[in-house]
Amino acid sequence: MTAPTLPPPPTALVVVDVQHDVVHADPPPREPDALLAALRTLLAAARSAGALVVHVQDVGDADPRFAAGSPGRALVLDVADGEPVVEKTDDDAFVGTRLADLLAGHAAVVVGGLQSEMCVAATARGALARGLAVTLPQDAHSTYDVPAGDGGIAVPAAHVSRVAAWSLGDDVALPARSADVRFGPVP
């Protein structure tokens, strides 16, 4: 009997759209302080292991709630020296950016940030499509409640996040806590 093949340890962390206007929106995403704490845990673990950290910043104008080019588009979490910031205008942070080039040679990535069902899920799918193993810690992504609308009921943000993660399929690791994620160094 052979031992099961374990996925490679993630060697990169991609933090998606953790920007002031998004984190501090009115109403805010679900549990923004807990989200930031989880992302800081991931950042500390990735940096300690020598993993690549990439910050993704939405600079597009698709969402009228968040004015393109405004100071509110600034990143909330500190960017350490040498950590690239990728500016994007599409939900998938790979589209029209250098993210794929930055991740060349990596086999596995952790994705976290905002919004679970939009840019986080799209970027995770983009990573999967490029052959990367993806880890999406459940406490490291969040979104907003979906309001009731014509023909629909309100959906709590916690449910939206869970469904977004579930929809990525069996190839994505979904640990409950960021504290359980271990990184490897850049290959």
Domains of the chain with CATH codes: 13-180 (3.40.50.850)
User: What is the residue-averaged pLDDT of the chain?
Assistant: 93
Which pLDDT tens digit goes with each residue over 4-56? 555 678 899 999 999 999 999 989 999 999 999 999 999 999 999 999 999 99
Whether residue 65 has pLDDT greater than 80: no
Residue 9 has a pLDDT of: 87
CA angle 66, 69, 70 (to 5 degrees): 60
Identify whether the C-beta of residue 146 lies closer than 8 Å to the C-beta of residue 154. Answer: yes
Q: pTM for the whole thing? A: 0.94
Active site residues: 119
Terminal Cα-to-Cα distance of the chain (whole angstroms)? 30
Distance of CA 29 to the CA centre of its chain: 14
% of the chain surpassing 70 pLDDT: 96
